[in-house]
Amino acid sequence: MISANGLSIFLSGQRVVTDLSIELGEGEMVALVGPNGAGKSSALKALAGVTPLAAGEIRIDGVDARRLSLRARARCIAWLPQARPVAWNLAARDVVSLGRFAESPAAYDHLGGADRQAVDAALEKADAARLAPRAFHTLSGGEQARVHLARLLASPAPSLLLDEPCAALDIVHQLSLMETLVAEAASGRAILVVLHDLELAARYCQRIMVMEAGHKVADDGAQDALNPHVLEHVFGVRRDAAGALVRAG
Amino acid sequence: MSRLVVFLTLVSLCLFALSGLVGTAPLSLEASLGALVGQGDAAARTILWEIRLPRAAAAFGVGATLGLAGAALQGLLQNPLAEPGVLGVSAFAALGAVVAIFFGLAGISGLIVPLAAILGAGLATLVLVVATLRGANSVTLLLIGIGLSSFAGALISLAMNLAPNPYSLSDLVNWMMGSVANRSWADIALAAPAWAVGTALVMMAAPGLRALSLGEETAASLGADIRRTRILVIGGTSILAGASVATAGAIGFVGIVAPHIVRPFVRHDPQKLLVPSALLAGVILLAADVLVRILPVQQELKLGVAAALLGGPVFIWIAARLGRASA
């Protein structure tokens, strides 16, 4: 679905991603992990089309992404950013409806039946149906995160990019989020999710990409990608006798 | 059409009727109503059709365009304190008018001052569009607007310092305070095409404004063309503000107050905010103009002063609440 080759990204003159390649296929659920500042968010932004590329090429279903209109691209890839501002005190349901924007930019009341169904289903999957009529700014941080997740799930796009979706979520909702993503992948969507919790990544994702200082250093199944060498040299941790992650050295 | 729009339209019509009935000339209710349908004596018909109704149309039109421009700019900048004044367009429109007065061009034709105001607004627009095409984001645009406003303010002060005679100085003061007294249908005819074009541009940007609720990057990822939205809103509001300043001088705060009142009634949707905000701002300014006409004071209060007296405290209240919310 998404095939990116040789991506390089600069942020205000600073090189943040170097020669990164990402393959993401239908039905795949892939975790993108790495220490702070490794370039994970920048990589996601480049795939979402909101950060310019210094080098490299992104192909979406075989088509050069530069040839796609913004709307056509939004129909292929949906992105949940790390920073999620909501400028106005919209109803939670209206925030979710924005996920349908690429399909129908019309005002909320004029959403078609298919769009409304997608919004309802997404609210249900994100355990946010109860929050739908609430004013967004009256929701807690975790509740807001679930509404944002519903916005993403409501999208018509088959590929979903999520940047730290677990932040602000309690443990039950973290697990149910991962299960929801697994189900989405099983239904044919392609999922690329930035995670900080390596256990969560290993448990739910078929493949793990590890980034360090702008480079991809591993891209494999959980066991191989998170091998002791990577754990120690990239993350500075190791497994103790009980198998728990502890600080290395 | 929503019930809110229908309600505001009805209120507007009532206020139009009311504004035909009040004024300094002693005209009985009967005479006014007669004149409205073309009956009665010629003087009454002239007062109604050539003085009161064009004045009401000017007040409503200026209010509506300022309300629409304010609502659109707030959506673009995701900031409830934005209005045409913020981008420096109103200040440059006033500067254009002031320069025309200062150089004595106003005497050539009644249209010179309005045209100069639109030209001034166009100049500020040009700066903003160039900045937009170079990728300036909303914060940068706000800062450029503050710079343009200050610069135009300084130039206006300079013009006032250098004003050759007291007559033109009092003209300047009148212009800066804002008023729709003595507006003719010719003034409306000059402004109306600009109002129409500006409104069309802003309405084309409406869906983009809704996507911008989630910030510029997310909006772009949703498939909204943010650069197009920016150009449409900046171009449209500049034309609206320029034409409004040309018609009535500088009138502030209406563009902030009306969207603020409407917002809860449209579930805070920046797209659905546009039309009701325009109608309500028209209603507010028309009501304010009826008020200044019937206030028993020696010299008629300027409309801009009345608007600022009502709108200033509301502006400060919103700003204080915003400060608390983000603290």
Other residues' Cβ atoms within 10 Å of the Cβ of residue A182 = 16
Q: Return the exposure string of A10-46: e unless at least 16 CB atoms fall within 10 Å of the residue's CB, then b.
A: eeeeeebbbebebebeeebbbbbbbeeebbbbbbbbb
Q: Minimal Cα–Cα distance from B275 to chain A, Å?
A: 13
The ipTM of this complex is 0.93
Query: Are the C-beta atoms of B25 and B1 separated by less than 8 Å?
Result: no
Fold annotation for B57-73+82-326: ABC transporter involved in vitamin B12 uptake, BtuC (1.10.3470)
Closest to B268 (Cβ–Cβ): which among A78, A81, A89?
A89
Q: Are residues B213 and A49, on separate chains, in Cβ contact within 8 Å?
A: no
List CB contacts of B84: < 8 A, sequence separation 6 or more: B66, B69, B70, B73, B90, B237, B238, B240, B241, B244, B255
Q: Are residues A81 and B218, on separate chains, in Cβ contact within 8 Å?
A: yes
pLDDT greater than 60 at residue B155? yes
Residue ranges of chain B whose CB lies within 8 Å of a chain A CB: 78-79, 207, 210-215, 217-218, 220-225, 263, 267-272
For B57-108, the pLDDT digits (tens) are: 999 999 999 999 999 989 988 888 788 877 788 889 989 888 887 777 777 8
CA B173/CA B158 separation, integer angstroms:
14
Query: Are the C-beta atoms of A150 and A162 separated by less than 8 Å?
Result: no
Which of 188-217 (A) contact B at CB < 8 A?
A: none
Q: Minimal Cα–Cα distance from B257 to chain A, Å?
A: 16
For A151-205, the pLDDT digits (tens) are: 999 999 999 999 999 988 999 999 999 999 999 999 999 999 999 999 999 999 9
Closest to B269 (Cβ–Cβ): which among A45, A101, A108?
A108
Q: Which residue of A has its CA nearest to B212?
A: A87
List of chain A residues whose C-beta atoms are within 8 Å of the C-beta of residue B79: 87
Q: Which residue of B has its CA nearest to A135?
A: B267
pLDDT at A161: 97
Instruction: Categorize the per-residue pLDDT at A225 as very low, low, confident or very high, splitting at 50, 70 and 90.
Output: very high
Write the CA distances from A209 to A9, A37, A57, A230, B291, integer angstroms. 18, 15, 19, 11, 69
By three-state DSSP, how is residue A77 classified?
strand
Q: Report which DSSP code applies to A29.
A: E
For A58-82, the pLDDT digits (tens) are: 999 999 999 999 999 999 999 999 9
* Domain range list for chain A: 2-87+157-247
List of chain A residues whose C-beta atoms are within 8 Å of the C-beta of residue B210: 98, 101, 105, 107
Other residues' Cβ atoms within 10 Å of the Cβ of residue A62 = 7
For chains A and B, count residue pairs whose Cβ atoms are closer than 8 Å.
90
pLDDT at B310: 81
A107 CB near a chain B CB, below 8 Å? yes
Q: Which residue of B has its CA nearest to A138?
A: B325
Q: Are residues A87 and B215, on separate chains, in Cβ contact within 8 Å?
A: yes
> Out of 3.40.50.300, 3.30.2320.80, 1.20.120.80, 3.40.50.720, which CATH number does the structure's domain A2-87+157-247 have?
3.40.50.300
Q: Report which DSSP code applies to A56.
A: E
Q: State chain A's mean pLDDT as an integer.
A: 93
pLDDT at B327: 40
Q: Report which DSSP code applies to B300.
A: P
